[in-house]
Amino acid sequence: ALLGAEESRVPIPQLSKTYPQIEIEDAYRIQDLWAEGRIAKGARVAGHKIGLTSRAMQMASKMTEPDYGRILDDALFNDGAQIRADLFIKPRLEVELAFIMGENLEGPSTRIYDVMRATEFIVPALEIIDYRTEVPRAITD
């Protein structure tokens, strides 16, 4: 349904209302299925992202930790690029820090000093978030 909403530019009902028992683990699985669907259509994984890194944003989203996801190559735009508004349903802009990694990180034993050592440099970035579900939304949507 999310892939269809993305393609048609028509939002779908909130997953949290359609499936009231949905949990964050379910939302991550849905995110994985969405990414796999995009990859099957030719997109490539260009990186990974972490969101809700501040306590204030976590509280606003009713989360206790940052969230995460994949960045696909067709979602990257160069500085100065003109981005068509009709690619989005309800876009929002967020200011982020992008970590350009020089080495891959893997496994649950990764620590902050591993991240610092593997980071080549950090740059400012803008993220365009596009909501594909109706309002109001829960974090699982």
80 within some domain: yes
141 within some domain: no
Predicted pLDDT of residue 94: 86
111 within some domain: yes
Token pair listed for 16:
């949290």
Other CB atoms within a 10 A radius of the CB of residue 133 amount to 22
* CA angle centred on 80, ends 71 and 45, rounded to 5°: 15
* Owning domain of residue 42: 2-130
Question: Would the pTM of this model clear 0.85, i.e. be above it?
Answer: no
46 within some domain: yes
* CA angle centred on 23, ends 92 and 61, rounded to 5°: 35
**The domain that contains 36 carries what CATH number?**
3.90.850.10
Q: How many domains does the chain have?
A: 1
Overall average pLDDT of the 13-41 stretch: 93
The string of pLDDT tens digits covering residues 68-78 is: 888 899 889 98
